[in-house]
Amino acid sequence: MSEPDKVQQLLAQLRRGIVAGHYLPGELLPSQRSLSEACGVSRATVRAAITQLELDGLIQTRHGDGSRCMNLLEPHFEMPLGGVGDNLGFQLQVMEMRAALEGEAAYNCALRATEAELIAIEGEYECMMLRSEGQTTLGKAKADLKFHMMIAQSSHNLLLISFSQLFYSRYFNAIYGVLNRTLKRNARYPDGIRAQHTGIYQALMARDADQARRLATEHILFTRQLLEHGE
């Protein structure tokens, strides 16, 4: 195989990995040495493929840092400013969007997550259950969001992963505000939330995609209902 053909073959392989979510937006690609050894090609072949990925806007390479995958939606996606976390109307809108987003993330995660990804989700679920006791509201919000973000990142849908990253980052204040408002009203974590997390986790481990979608959607809508009706 000629050198240009080797470059194109490696380039196609890396592109497939990015599109399939094997390399997550914001994460580093394997080092050039690792790619060279794993793929059985020269460092020159790897460098040529990496250069083309950067020209295509799929990665960004910085000296001393490596090649980091780009969030492909970010340059083309402007969201309203996130500094409205205490606005009830906006919080309700965020919860509506989360219901749709997390239902699809859970569905695709159940179908497509690797065994290693499910093990990681299981570990985070167990940590979240342990951390939920005695944590600050901010800590609870971060733990909850990390669990749901790991599910999205294991969906192997690049658009869903990229949008989730932007959405959760931009609107974390609103998501935190929902939990803070609820905890202030009830002086405790809402009844049912812990069991809902367990149901989602169990559906994912069983690879029951329809059940995972239903439970993830209901989980967010339950919290939205509490928020809307002030229960």
Q: How confident is residue 211, by pLDDT bands cut at 50, 70 and 90?
A: very high
Asked whether residue 84 carries a pLDDT value surpassing 80, the answer given is no
Long-range pairs of 110-113 with CB within 8 A, sequence gap ≥ 24: 110/203, 110/204, 110/206, 110/207, 110/208, 110/209, 110/211, 110/212, 110/213, 111/207, 111/209, 112/154, 112/155, 112/156, 112/157, 113/154, 113/155, 113/156, 113/204
Predicted pLDDT of residue 113:
96
Angle at 18 between CA 40 and CA 16, to 5 degrees: 60
Asked whether residue 183 carries a pLDDT value surpassing 80, the answer given is no
The residue with greater pLDDT, 84 or 37, is: 37
Q: What is the DSSP string of 90-158?
A: HHHHHHHHHHHHHHHHHHHHHHH--HHHHHHHHHHHHHHHHHTTT--HHHHHHHHHHHHHHHHHTS--H
Q: How confident is residue 188, by pLDDT bands cut at 50, 70 and 90?
A: low
On average, the pLDDT of the chain sits at 87
All domains of the chain, ordered by start, with CATH? 3-70 (1.10.10.10), 76-229 (1.20.120.530)
**What are the pLDDT digits (tens) for 97-109?**
999 999 999 999 9
Asked whether residue 184 carries a pLDDT value surpassing 80, the answer given is no
Q: What is the mean pLDDT of residues 193-218?
A: 96
Asked whether residue 187 carries a pLDDT value surpassing 60, the answer given is no
**What are the pLDDT digits (tens) for 48-80?**
999 999 999 999 998 888 899 999 888 877 766
Q: How confident is residue 15, by pLDDT bands cut at 50, 70 and 90?
A: very high
Cα within 13 Å of Cα(52), Cβ side: 15
**What are the pLDDT digits (tens) for 114-164?**
999 999 999 999 988 876 666 676 777 788 889 999 999 999 999 999 999
**Alpha-carbon span 59 to 68, nearest angstrom:** 5
**Alpha-carbon span 52 to 59, nearest angstrom:** 9
The residue with greater pLDDT, 67 or 176, is: 67
Query: Tokens standing for 84?
Result: 């409205």
